[in-house]
Structure 1
Amino acid sequence: MKQLINVKQWKKNSMRLLIGAFLLWFVIAFLIYPNFNIILASFRTESGFSFAIVRKLFESPIAMDGLKNSFILAISLAITTNIVGVFIVLVSEYFEIRGAKLLKIGYMTTFIYGGIILVSGYSMIYGENGIVTKTLASFFPNFNVQWFGGFWAVLFVMTVSTTTSHMMFLGNAIKSIDNYTIEAAKNMGASSFYIIRRIVLPVVLPTIFAITILQFLGGLSAFAAPLIIGGKDFQTIAPLILELNKIPGSQGLALMLSLVLGLTTILLLILFTKLEKGGTFFSISKTKAVYVKQKINHKALHIFVHAIAYLLFIIYVMPVVLIIAFSFTNSAAIHEVKLSFSAFTLDNYQTVFHDIEKITPFFNSANFSIQAAIAVTIIVLLGVGIRRKHDNFFTQFIEYAFLIPWMLPSTLIAIGFLTTYDEPKLIIGNKVLIGTTEILVLAYIIILIPITSRLLRASYQSVDQDYELAAKSLGASSFYTFRRIVLPMLLPTVLALIVLNFNSLLSDYNIAAFLSHPLKEPLGLLIRRYTSVEATGDTQALIYVFSTILMAIAAITVSIVYGWLLKEKKK
């Protein structure tokens, strides 16, 4: 009997050691080593280590303009996104606005499309061949058809496309405001503006501050918008890194820019975190009343707010409506930017689904995405599980290592993989990852780890440990307990994360632009290739079709996750 117990204990310890060894290897090989190597590679020359690349960076007008433009965009985006984001949350959640539910649906369209799809959509509407541009040119013959480009165009698109965080987080914060406090202020004669400034905003300020950090960092590492609509006059760091990496002799400058971008992101995160901790945020009421929407009593202000609210609604919804409409339009009508019932056709969809060459990039992206989504969930489950069982230095190290990609822009992660695994490395069995599909999947796993880790950890903490202790007392093994008790409780969150992660990678361009296999083109690269001034009606039709398909998948994803999986978990 004692011998049997010893065998079970040995198997248990062996499994823990195996899992621990795998996690340690994974963290070192793909989270630490590539990022450490990029620091070394930035200063490595044929004659040894040199800091000459730093001087070259400061002497390069293109690099310095890229850095300046990135900071200008980041600061501007933090301001404009908060202005627009706070406004749309107020009109959809705080004020009593006619059609508020419809407005909310319109503002939430950024949930179902983003990245290169969204930027391409705005480019096809406001760009040189866009419907808005051609309409304006027909009324004004001297109208500049290349008006939509540069800093202001990038800022406009990114402002509209990044208010998702406001609708998701700030909307919930607004709903939690104590109605007693607002009513007390109104009874004392406070105006609506005064209540918003002195009561509402102070309560939701922590949420706004957190969103501002995300927006600033997003602007700093912006990729798709500056690349597609920034033009030659407005280049930021991330697209510049991609271009420099393709030019022989300029890879060192690309590495240095990647390093500067990564270090800046880390320093800003530390600074913002300290500033946030130094603030004092509180609500003065102890007994809260259910929030009630507020009326706008001033007639002129009431009309003005409604007008701006519906103008923004049109701006948000128009790309989605036109993309779907043009996906069912023939190539001639697309080229002429004319919508009519006579141009209606299903040929675009038949072309995509019947031509294997056209649909292959979609299947490639789906394959890479599902591999990464499943793999990251398994890896994080192992890490979170071992952290729950053993609170020691090793598990803490794994937990914090999982957060490393959160501090680094995706561009830096991609460059790290490129410079590290372009030759055989012992840590991965002397294999070369460059030119394989595995490197793209691994990079996807890395960028998904932080959010997956945080959400799974939160879900794991909700599992009552008494169930596990009861199973253990009945002689159940750790694996059996996890499989029959813990996993079923985590399953809604696990499935939700797999679905959301899969959806988030389908149209990826940022990572794919650096690491994609030349014979396995992902959908993001195809969309970028077809999004150009020279694009014909046929190629634009394909973009509209793929965009519509991706939006439909995203809508279904959101419905499944929030309407079924996570809803079931709340019961």
Structure 2
Amino acid sequence: MNRSKKRYENLIGIVLLVFLVGYILIPTLKTVNLSFLEGNNFTISHYKNFLSLKTNRAFIINTIFLGFSTVIICGLIGTSLAFFIGYFKFPCKSIVSKLLLTPIMVPGVIIVIAFIQLYGESGIITKSLEMIFHLDRIPFKFAGFWGILFVHAYTQYIYFFINVSVAIKHIDYSTIEAAKNLGAKNSKIFFSIILPVIKPALLGASIMTFIGGIGSFSAPSLIGGKFRVLTTQILFAKSNNHMDIASVEVVLLTVIAFIFLFVCRYYEKKSSFPAQVKSVEIKEIIIENSLLRKLFVTFTFLLIFFIILPVITIFILSFVTSGTWLVEIFPKDFSWTNYIKIFTKSNTLKPFINSINMSVISGLLGVAVAVPCSYIIVKTKSKFNFLIESLVMIPWALPASAIAINLINTFNKTSIFSLNKILVGTYILLPLSYFIGILPLIFRSTNISMYNLNDAYEDASKSLGGSWLYTFRRVTLPIIMPGIVSGVVIGFIRCMGEYTSSAYLYTVANKPISIAMVNAVFEYEIGLAMAYGVLTIVFILILSFISTALKNKHK
């Protein structure tokens, strides 16, 4: 039994290692290699030429500044909301906490387009304020750095909100009460008791928001204006066939991401806080002052309204008849035309079907790779563990634009990993990039369930004569299914609205819904773009309900 198990584990470990090397490590190294080549000769001239220009250095500075700014603003918002929900008791608290997760259910490019319709130069809110207050000019400009940061604040605060909300539950309230009894000030309690507990959560969320910030493409490309960052310049270089410059920019972007990742991981390990064996949960505060309670309720209402306003806007504008809303502040002509167009014209429906198909392909690939990787790393002592885990997590620090360029540089020639075919310009390359991007998500989600898997279940199956493969298929897999489903759903949501890698890799045959939405906006078919958005949101909601049912079934 042990020999059979060991043989299976070694075989799976080798296959996984070869796969990960071929589709993650080699593409990454190809881009690094290309950035140092002039013909067939090694050179650093590409870096010298790139960094010698002040405008190029500005792109790097803008990228780093945007990344740190995203971390700061999302940290303030997400952490504040986590304490807001965790500490205070108020009506409909459960509903409010769920609504605060709304941005995670809506693909980023859809949010950007909705914000443009609300806060853009001709946006509903912008023009309404201009009319109400009789202004000579628009009250604010939704563009450039501040516009991008506004979008990031809305779409990425959830990382801090989720992580800190979980960490708050591990705070031992008895230590806070003891500190108060000893005369400690609130500031002292926060920095000495609360902060050490939530610090790992803050660092983990910081990694996600920083990489999301520097890797952002939809907001900088649609509303960035003169504020340019590396992601937009990478596409510009690629479009002009300057792959050497694009490779240099990708390497710089990747280095920035990895430096921040390693620094945060270093402090994350140093700040690990031992869990209490038995702790007293935080007592919710009831606001007794009637005025404060009314202010609190008002603030809560305004917060939720702001959170769901973009979604409401998407649904309403999806009924606007194309070509009728050009001058007026508010649309007046509504119909089912956009939905009829999508479901009666194959070329209009195709982007939606393409996105579903490619998301399914990437999700299935993710499960096929992430689950055995998780099992090998968590449940075995394979000599491949460190290499497999390192390779699986590389895409976590790679912005989508970097992944896309890596694949272009690798599969623009025949390779054993492409079955001796050129994949650039083919259907499969885009879902392959989706898969690489979501692999760490599915892997980490599966790990949570795998770590909680009691070895006694597997031992019982084996003692009754079940083979290793039978035990994995009939015992292990059903138990870890909730973790797999959670990872796949999050990955599917990301793939459905993925715009960055789509802009680099899509073809006529696999044009996704994100590209179709942006094209519709530029063609002044706002209603059609929003109808695409509604279909995406509805599909994601249905998928979420199904996944919840599946997870409950396997509990």
TM-score by length of 2: 0.90
2:481–2:551 CA contact under 8 A, matched in 1: no
Distance 2:288 2:180 in 1: 12
Query: What is the SS of the residue equivalent to 1:432?
Result: coil
Structural mapping, 1:115-154, within 5 Å: 115-139=108-132, 140=134, 142-144=136-138, 147-154=141-148
Partner of residue 328 from structure 1, selected from 292, 313, 319: 319
Is 1:269 the counterpart of 2:261? The answer is yes
Q: 1:323 to 1:194 in 2, by over 3 A?
A: farther
Q: 1:30 to 1:176 in 2, by over 3 A?
A: same
What is the deviation of 1:530? Answer: 2.5
Structural mapping, 1:344-355, within 5 Å: 344-355=334-345
Moved more, 352-361 or 98-107: 98-107
The residue number in structure 1 matching 2:236 is: 243
Is 1:466 the counterpart of 2:456? The answer is yes
Is 1:527 the counterpart of 2:512? The answer is no
What is the deviation of 1:47? Answer: 5.6
Partner of residue 410 from structure 2, selected from 420, 427, 443: 420
Partner of residue 158 from structure 2, selected from 159, 164, 171: 164
Amino acid at match of 1:229: I
1:103–1:310 CA contact under 8 A, matched in 2: no
2:105–2:540 CA contact under 8 A, matched in 1: yes
Partner of residue 547 from structure 1, selected from 497, 522, 533: 533
Query: What is the SS of the residue equivalent to 1:148?
Result: coil
1:131–1:337 CA contact under 8 A, matched in 2: no
Amino acid at match of 1:554: I
Provide Cα deviations, 1:94-130, integer angstroms capped at 9, x if missing partner: 1234554454344221121131111111112111231
Is 1:380 the counterpart of 2:380? The answer is no
The residue number in structure 2 matching 1:289 is: 280
Moved more, 172-181 or 22-31: 172-181
The residue number in structure 2 matching 1:565 is: 550
Moved more, 475-484 or 373-382: 475-484
Distance 2:93 2:374 in 1: 41
Provide Cα deviations, 1:51-106, integer angstroms capped at 9, x if missing partner: 11111111233321211111111121111111111222232231234554454344
Is 1:61 the counterpart of 2:54? The answer is yes
**Unpaired segments of 5 or more residues in structure 1?**
none
Query: What is the SS of the residue equivalent to 2:384?
Result: helix
1:326–1:334 CA contact under 8 A, matched in 2: no
Distance 1:566 1:52 in 2: 54
Distance 1:137 1:401 in 2: 53
Distance 2:8 2:47 in 1: 47
The residue number in structure 2 matching 1:72 is: 65
2:105–2:493 CA contact under 8 A, matched in 1: no
Distance 2:469 2:99 in 1: 46
Amino acid at match of 1:448: I
What is the deviation of 1:429? Answer: 3.2
Query: What is the SS of the residue equivalent to 1:518?
Result: coil
Distance 1:72 1:494 in 2: 35
Distance 2:377 2:166 in 1: 30
1:127–1:145 CA contact under 8 A, matched in 2: no
Moved more, 234-243 or 207-216: 207-216
The residue number in structure 1 matching 2:307 is: 316
Partner of residue 396 from structure 1, selected from 363, 367, 386: 386
Sequence identity (%): 27
Query: What is the SS of the residue equivalent to 1:270?
Result: helix
Q: 1:173 to 1:473 in 2, by over 3 A?
A: closer
1:34–1:416 CA contact under 8 A, matched in 2: yes
Provide Cα deviations, 1:213-261, integer angstroms capped at 9, x if missing partner: 3222222222211111111x2111112111121124x332211010011
2:427–2:507 CA contact under 8 A, matched in 1: yes
Query: What is the SS of the residue equivalent to 2:466?
Result: coil
1:63–1:257 CA contact under 8 A, matched in 2: no
2:203–2:265 CA contact under 8 A, matched in 1: no
The residue number in structure 2 matching 1:501 is: 491
Distance 1:287 1:490 in 2: 27
The residue number in structure 2 matching 1:108 is: 101
Q: 1:193 to 1:104 in 2, by over 3 A?
A: farther
What is the deviation of 1:458? Answer: 3.0
Is 1:177 the counterpart of 2:177? The answer is no
The residue number in structure 1 matching 2:80 is: 87
Distance 2:454 2:153 in 1: 42
Q: 1:75 to 1:492 in 2, by over 3 A?
A: closer
1:334–1:541 CA contact under 8 A, matched in 2: no
Is 1:39 the counterpart of 2:32? The answer is yes
1:31–1:404 CA contact under 8 A, matched in 2: yes
Provide Cα deviations, 1:189-234, integer angstroms capped at 9, x if missing partner: 7777776566444432321232123222222222211111111x21
Q: 1:50 to 1:519 in 2, by over 3 A?
A: same
2:127–2:329 CA contact under 8 A, matched in 1: no
Query: What is the SS of the residue equivalent to 2:413?
Result: coil
Query: What is the SS of the residue equivalent to 2:60?
Result: helix
What is the deviation of 1:486? Answer: 2.2
1:53–1:252 CA contact under 8 A, matched in 2: yes
Query: What is the SS of the residue equivalent to 1:531?
Result: helix
Provide Cα deviations, 1:10-39, integer angstroms capped at 9, x if missing partner: 8x8876665444323212211111111111
Q: CA RMSD in A?
A: 3.0
What is the deviation of 1:262? Answer: 0.8
Distance 2:464 2:170 in 1: 44
Provide Cα deviations, 1:305-334, integer angstroms capped at 9, x if missing partner: 555544433322211111112223334664
